[in-house]
Structure 1
Amino acid sequence: MTTRLTPTAYLDHIRSESARFRAVLADTDPTAPVPTAPEWTAADLLWHVAAEVQHFWTYVLETRPAAPTSETYSEPERPEDATYQDLLAHFDELNARFIKTLEQTGPEEPTWSWSPDQTAAFTYRRQAHEILIHRLDAELTAGAVTPLDPALAADGIDEILDVFYGGKPDWARFTGGGQYVRVDAVDTDTQTWVELGLVSGTRPNGDSLEDEPDLSVVSQDEIPGGTEPDVVIEGTAADLDAWLWRRRDDEGIKVTGDKDVYEHFRALTNQAITDD
């Protein structure tokens, strides 16, 4: 069962989650620390989403399919004298431009990304999850958390495990070790299977990677018949998505199975990642 949403649904979520993100931060002390990013304030979070995320992906879409480089793309500089209202207005401008650009870009169009998916569909999906998690950051900062959409969160489980923790460049070779973890979103009746293993390969700069612990999302038809997972992790889609993104603890999440396999899985998935 796929967790993927339609491009239209992803775009709708980008609109609604952006609006919620903005509304929450508009009523928040700009100096309030962000619990999930202690080095940031609410104002820093607002600037990050507007200027460092949505501005960048707008540029990617507008100049498709060329890859951005340090010579062709310049990140906006944050004015030292900008007020919080200035930052909110800046977000409004960049967010509107980003959404309009997405509306004018077909998901099938060739577009650069840092993933193997070189179409605009990647941006639709990635940015729906990006703003969902940063909306949660804003709400945690304000102390006003609201539910995450279950269908989007279920897809978020697959995305973080497959694209971030399980994603590999072309030069990398994954060898499965026959240990499986199944992540069950109980409210959406969706499951994500993960195999633990090792990755090796030679980077473009010549450096070698040899048998480093890694994981890979696998479909059920790739798993030998009769195989049972070594570990099952259960929770609601929203709880699991936020937990994997290190936005909440494991309260309410049920784990059964081999303790060592679980601890190996958590060591691989409990790391800071770049989520843009």
Structure 2
Amino acid sequence: MTRLTFPAYLDHIRSESARLEAVLAACDPEARVPACPDWSADDLLWHHSEVQWFWSEVVRRRPGGPPDDELRRGRADTHAGLVEQHAESSASLVDALSRADPAEAAWTWAPEQTVGFTYRRQAHESLIHRLDAEQAAGVASPLDPALAADGVAELLEVMYGGEAPGWGRIEPGVQHVRLDLTDTGHALWTQPCTFLGTHPESGKVYDGPHVLLVADPGTEPDAVVSGTAADLDAWLWKRRERDAVTVEGDPAAFAALLAAVGPPLD
């Protein structure tokens, strides 16, 4: 219900990446990134450059796996060099995606194994890191409401939630929290729950909070979180404070949602 067209995602990758690059090119290279305080502005520039290079290689190698580590470039040792590397990575990702059918099979770390996953994921990656760049530089520009609305949904159904893999299971919760996006009109229903399982390769045991994006259950929500699409997206990504959104209803239901979306994401 929030998805954009693939050409729209590609346009956002172009525009958000260009804005990020322009802001960081003019920023103090040592400025701190508030949401990732261990990063300098140059670290953010390199991170986004590396992410875009990685996914451009994934798309080019479809349907094979990710590129080998030895193919990675070394990090430029000057600010100007990092800006140049970022421009190359962004152009490479846009070129690779524009030449691929979103429906084609391609490796991802998620259940969805298509080029289309990369279209969507990288549009949101670029949006959030553009916001990081502006916060590091002390400037601001608006987030596109339609992209931010889809960002809320993508975070809930991909980054923090989603169906269980074959080696795990989900114990459904009994509460529902609705997210009302006041400027776009979307109402996204979530069901905090618990994910359990043991990863077959790493042996890591999972037993903790999870969240599902669900259809309207036909009942009143236990809690409602409301705000603009931009405020909700940025708040869920830990880029805005709690007072950016309004919370009503059962505090326990809201706390269950918070537990599911609590771990930080870079």
Name the TM-score class by shorter chain.
Answer: over 0.9
Residue among 154, 157, 169 paired with 1:173? 169
Partners of 2:153 and 2:137 in 1: CA distance: 28
- Residue 170 of structure 1 deviates from its aligned partner by 2.9
Structure 2: segments with no counterpart, 5+ residues: none
* Pairs aligned (count): 265
Residue among 104, 111, 122 paired with 2:106? 111
Aligned to 1:65: 63
Aligned to 2:23: 24
Residue among 118, 131, 135 paired with 1:140? 135
Aligned to 1:182: 178
Aligned to 1:44: 43
Aligned to 2:152: 157
The TM-score normalised by the length of structure 1 is 0.91
The TM-score normalised by the length of structure 2 is 0.94
Residue among 75, 81, 96 paired with 1:101? 96
User: How large is the Cα RMSD of the aligned pairs?
Assistant: 1.7
Partners of 1:209 and 1:178 in 2: CA distance: 24
- Residue 152 of structure 1 deviates from its aligned partner by 0.2
Aligned to 1:9: 8
Determine helix, strand or coil for the equivalent of 2:46: helix
- Residue 10 of structure 1 deviates from its aligned partner by 0.2
- Residue 76 of structure 1 deviates from its aligned partner by 2.0
Could you report, residue by residue, the CA deviation over 1:86-115 in whole angstroms, capped at 9, with x for unpaired residues?
111111112111111111011011110011
Aligned to 1:215: 211
Q: Check whether the contact 2:174–2:191 (CA below 8 A) recurs between aligned residues.
A: yes
Partners of 2:204 and 2:25 in 1: CA distance: 48
Q: 1:120-139 maps to which residues of 2 (within 5 A)?
A: 120-139=115-134
Q: Check whether the contact 1:200–1:208 (CA below 8 A) recurs between aligned residues.
A: no
Query: Is structure 2 residue 257 aligned with structure 1 residue 259?
Result: no
Residue among 195, 199, 223 paired with 1:231? 223
- Residue 211 of structure 1 deviates from its aligned partner by 5.4
- Residue 262 of structure 1 deviates from its aligned partner by 1.0
Aligned partner letter, 1:192: L
Partners of 1:63 and 1:73 in 2: CA distance: 15
Structure 1: segments with no counterpart, 5+ residues: none
- Give the % identical residues: 49
Aligned partner letter, 2:59: L
